[in-house]
């Protein structure tokens, strides 16, 4: 077996170029080809990296140039490209989200399972030390039964950002706004650590931008055990906030300002409520910053693990199937907000497909777009 994986990048109009810049730092990878439907972009990127450039993803997959592909196209194309690649015998890394609808995501996951090939998703937040430690704390039982979750994820985007491509911020091109593009990492964390809610009441609005999709979304959630959850995400706040809380019977877990905190409670909350004889009494608890173990993080860590798993040197860190939970949650919020009703998870797959098909059919083509091919600066080449 070779000590390098021949890698192709499909979609180089934005994040795909960010992935291209990571390849020189990965001894396990050899960039052999790229694909972009825009001939000028394809030509410039292929010449820059000295590799074969194609404008049709099927030609790249069938060329024999690559053993694995990274998919960084607009969202609706992730499932058909991924399924075609998997069935052709290639390993697949998909950018987030792996699909726009839960049904399409499940088809991609099923194709991966049937192919026996490696399938992962670019959820780089899962490589962060705080996330790994939070998972350990919850799995150990230190938090106890969860009875409340909270997520606040606010960011900022300019109108110029939304105008940089005709697919951005449209139902037909992107499949949504903040929930489908900027917030999937945070939603993944929300579901991975707190579980997938059973019921959702969602709200969306477009406040600060001239776009047809939402730039702000919120939801009230209820879990199978009766626990409540609250979340909000937006691209209309500055400075932004990333706060995640999980309250349990035995303590509270908090992530904020890139730090993880945990407070163990003695005695358990319910026991203290029943037995403490003081009117203003309460359990003992001290919120402490959790010590974290440094490790490689970000896009590079996900790419390296993907490659080393293919080479048989590591176990896969992020199975692509984990991406379905947060996607179903975002689908539920959209459905609830648009239909002004509480929705239940699991969603009816046929209903959600028809829901998004209707939004796509009513989508209005964008005019006055000044195409900007630019990767988010923080992802161009991570330290």
118 with 143, same domain: the answer is no
284 and 311 assigned to the same domain: no
Determine the 3-state secondary structure of 374 from DSSP.
coil
The pLDDT tens digits for 233-242 are 999 999 999 9
Assign 226 to helix, strand or coil: coil
In-domain check, residue 56: yes
Q: Give backbone dihedrals phi and psi of 29, rounded to 5 degrees, phi first.
A: -120, 145
Taking 60 as the threshold, does the pLDDT of residue 381 lie above it? no
Residue 376 lies in a domain: no
Assign residue 351 the CATH number of its domain.
Answer: 3.30.360.10
- Asked whether residue 248 is domain-assigned, the answer is yes
Instruction: Say which CATH number the domain at 70 has.
Output: 3.40.50.720
**Same domain? 163 vs 269:** yes
Whether residue 235 sits in one domain with residue 131: yes
Q: What is d(CA 199, CA 144) in angstroms, rounded to the nearest whole number?
A: 22
Task: With residue 156 as reference, give the H or E element that holds it.
Answer: strand 146-156
Q: Which pLDDT belongs to residue 373?
A: 58
Decide if pLDDT at 182 tops 80: yes
Looking at the fold, whether 231 and 249 belong to one and the same domain comes out as yes
Q: Which residues pair with 239 in a beta bridge?
A: none
Listing DSSP states for 57-112 in one string gives: HHHHHHTTS-SEEEE-S-GGGHHHHHHHHHHTT-EEEEPSPS-SSHHHHHHHHHHH
pLDDT band at 332 (very low <50, low <70, confident <90, very high): very high
The Cα 11–Cα 333 span in angstroms is 28
Residues 211 and 336 in one domain: yes
Helix (H) or strand (E) holding 31: strand 29-35
Asked, for residue 307, whether it belongs to a domain, the answer is yes
Q: Quick check: is 159 in a domain? A: yes
Q: Are residues 148 and 283 in the same domain?
A: yes
Quick one: 345 and 208 in the same domain? yes
- 255 and 166 assigned to the same domain: yes
Residue 179 belongs to domain spanning: 126-293+326-361
* Both tokens assigned to 167: 């697919």
Contacts of residue 301, defined as CB under 8 A and 6 or more positions apart, other chains included, come to 124, 127, 295, 317
Q: Is residue 17 assigned to a domain?
A: yes
Q: How many domains does the chain have?
A: 2
Could you tell me if 169 and 138 lie in one domain? yes
Q: Do both 102 and 246 map to the same domain? A: no
Q: How far is CA 372 from CA 15, 81, 108, 113, 183, in A?
A: 12, 24, 30, 37, 22
The rounded percent of the chain whose pLDDT value lies above 90 is 93
pLDDT tens, position by position, 157-179: 999 999 999 999 999 999 999 99
Per-residue pLDDT tens over the stretch 118-163: 999 999 999 999 999 999 999 999 999 999 999 999 999 999 999 9
What mean pLDDT comes out for the span 56-80? 98
Is 367 within the bounds of a domain? no
In terms of domains, do 229 and 357 share one? yes
The position carrying tokens 């490589």 is 127
In this prediction, residue 377 carries a pLDDT of 60
Asked if 178 contacts 233 with a C-beta cutoff of 8 angstroms, the reply is yes
* pTM summary value: 0.94
pLDDT band at 13, cuts 50/70/90? confident
Beta bridge partners of 248: 146, 251
List, for residues 207-231, the tens digit of each pLDDT value: 999 999 999 999 999 999 999 999 9
């Amino acid at each position: 077996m070779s000590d390098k994986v021949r890698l192709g990048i499909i979609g180089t109009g934005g994040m795909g170029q960010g992935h291209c810049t990571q390849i020189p730092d990965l001894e396990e990878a050899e960039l052999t080809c790229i694909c972009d439907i825009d001939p000028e972009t394809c030509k410039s990127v292929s010449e820059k990296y000295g590799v074969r450039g194609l404008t049709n993803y099927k030609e790249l997959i069938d060329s024999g140039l690559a053993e694995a592909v990274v998919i960084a196209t607009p969202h609706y194309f992730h499932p058909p490209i991924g399924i075609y690649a998997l069935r052709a015998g290639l390993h697949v890394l998909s950018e987030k989200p792996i699909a726009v609808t839960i049904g399409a995501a499940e088809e991609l996951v099923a194709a991966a399972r049937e192919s026996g090939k490696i399938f992962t998703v670019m959820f780089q937040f899962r490589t962060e030390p705080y996330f790994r430690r939070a998972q350990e704390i919850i799995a150990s039982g230190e938090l106890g039964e969860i009875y409340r979750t909270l997520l606040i994820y606010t960011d900022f985007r300019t109108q110029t950002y939304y105008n940089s491509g005709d697919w951005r911020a449209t139902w037909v091109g992107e499949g949504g706004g903040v929930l489908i593009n900027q917030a999937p990492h945070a939603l993944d964390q929300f579901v991975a650590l707190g579980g997938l809610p059973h019921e959702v009441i969602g709200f969306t609005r477009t406040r600060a931008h001239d776009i047809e999709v939402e730039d702000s979304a919120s939801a009230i959630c209820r879990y199978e055990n009766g626990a409540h959850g609250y979340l909000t995400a937006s691209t209309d706040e500055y400075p932004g906030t990333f706060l995640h809380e999980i309250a349990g019977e035995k303590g509270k877990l908090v992530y904020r300002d890139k730090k993880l905190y945990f407070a163990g409670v003695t005695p358990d909350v319910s026991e203290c409520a029943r037995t403490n004889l003081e009117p203003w009494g309460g359990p003992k608890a001290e919120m402490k910053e959790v010590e974290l173990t440094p490790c490689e993080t970000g896009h590079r860590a996900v790419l390296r693990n993907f490659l080393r798993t293919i080479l048989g040197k590591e176990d896969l860190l992020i199975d692509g199937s984990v991406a379905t939970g947060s996607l179903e949650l975002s689908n539920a919020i959209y459905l609830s907000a648009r239909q002004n009703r509480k929705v239940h998870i699991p969603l009816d797959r046929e209903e959600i497909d028809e829901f998004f098909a209707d939004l796509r059919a009513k989508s209005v083509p964008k005019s006055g777009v000044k195409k900007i091919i630019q990767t988010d600066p923080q992802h161009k080449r991570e330290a």
